Structure 1
């Protein structure tokens, strides 16, 4: 279920609201990285929309405001969500916006573009990768947590995914937040000399030794998850940035990826 932007009235930012369903992080947790907001000339529709959103919440983090497919509205990306606000700043709606002729969800397309941009900032060397022994048919990025039940179920079948030609690239998303015990476990995994073994150990409740690490990518990947609209783990994304949902069994994921590839060719 999509988060309602009106929750911004009660949260410091839409990104902060994204954590509302996860256990609270300790008081010493590091803050979520802020996003640099673009500037807009006074009197423009973009400026009016920005000002209207700030009236709802002075600390809302807006990533972009651009022309929408609907005349008289702007498309806004804020805290991993797409919303539409009228050019005069008086009306706002959130939900599915369907292009009937193209048979596309324009909100999903907008977020897919954002996710592609965010993923491009995350080096492959910082991901935990499971590649097929043979040819790769599809690549998915999976935001995972070592404590999440469905994340563990997905990982149990990792050999079945790769057997079907699916390359899996894991990113870290400790649901309890930065600074939590869950976060420290994931830092230990990503700092291990053998990340794949450490990830499997952590997901099977086997201790992973903590050791000094010059640079852990967990913070960056966690913040990226918030920007990409993560609402739960696992979050599975295709190569184009489209969200495939949460956990999917190997055959179901392959079927979904094959169908999307076929639709893309037809389109």
Structure 2
């Protein structure tokens, strides 16, 4: 009985200590958030957690991480590098924080292109006038057995919006999209169909912190920003299975 009581008391003590540490951490991060928000009102702080360096805090402002001391007196913007492991900790954390639940994406609002058996899946936020998006489309020509869901994301100009609507209203969206991006054949659709999907894509992208095009989302939720090469994309698709 004595042994049981000691064990129960020990468990209760450990639980209390854990709760105390958690409460202390919450108080520190809550205070830090309030301080930074007051001093840097333009920041949209999503969360604050301890960084893997003593006394340093990771501040998530969406598409970027910044770092602060516990009092919010000093911040720096840049990558935190692990010199022993030769790893970019900031990059790894951003990839983790910005993972997307692929199954939750409204794929009905995307242009669907199937290559080969289409067994591998990826989504892309793309602007019709984005040169890097055209570069990515060229790379995709050599990628087989993949289904690409392109969310038309016209953020560059009014002409981007007009082209996106014309592509969405075309009889064959996939062919029209590829014809424009790869062959510069302008879409002939007048954009007179229901184009609310494009407005929904813009809202979706903002919600997911898509700040540039192209932005690739793999089936496992990882992101690949920019016009990655065909080789890099092939490797990433292999890991996403």
The 5 Å alignment of 1:72-111 reads: 72-100=55-83, 103-111=86-94
User: Are 1:150 and 2:128 an aligned pair?
Assistant: no
Describe the superposition over 1:2-52 as per-residue Cα deviations: whole angstroms up to 9, x where unpaired. Answer: xxxxxxxxxxxxxxxxxxxxxxxxxxxxxxxxxxxxxx99x9222333233
Alignment partner of 2:117 out of 134, 139, 143: 134
Q: Does the residue aligned with 1:44 lie in a helix, a strand or coil?
A: helix
Q: Name the one with the larger helix percent.
A: 2
> 5+ unaligned residues in a row in structure 2: which ranges?
1-22
Alignment partner of 1:176 out of 156, 161, 178: 156
Distance 1:82 1:170, change over 3 A: same
**Counterpart-to-counterpart distance in 2, 1:92 and 1:207:** 51
Distance 1:49 1:149, change over 3 A: same
Match of 1:238 in 2: 218
Alignment partner of 1:250 out of 226, 230, 237: 230
Match of 1:222 in 2: 202
Match of 1:160 in 2: 142
**Counterpart-to-counterpart distance in 2, 1:236 and 1:116:** 11
Match of 2:174 in 1: 196
| Structure with higher RCO (Cα < 8 A, 6+ apart) | 1
Would you say the 8 A contact 1:111–1:228 is kept in 2?
no
Distance 1:67 1:232, change over 3 A: same
Would you say the 8 A contact 2:109–2:201 is kept in 1?
no
Match of 2:164 in 1: 186
**Counterpart-to-counterpart distance in 2, 1:227 and 1:74:** 24
Q: Does the residue aligned with 1:233 lie in a helix, a strand or coil?
A: coil
Deviation at 1:211, TM superposition (A): 1.7
Match of 2:191 in 1: 210
Deviation at 1:89, TM superposition (A): 1.0
Aligned residues: 215
Describe the superposition over 1:52-81 as per-residue Cα deviations: whole angstroms up to 9, x where unpaired. Answer: 332344243222222322222322221311
Would you say the 8 A contact 1:118–1:228 is kept in 2?
no
Would you say the 8 A contact 1:140–1:166 is kept in 2?
yes
TM-score (norm 2): 0.70
Would you say the 8 A contact 2:99–2:223 is kept in 1?
no
Distance 1:251 1:234, change over 3 A: same
Would you say the 8 A contact 1:202–1:208 is kept in 2?
no
Deviation at 1:146, TM superposition (A): 0.3
TM-score (norm 1): 0.64
> 5+ unaligned residues in a row in structure 1: which ranges?
1-39
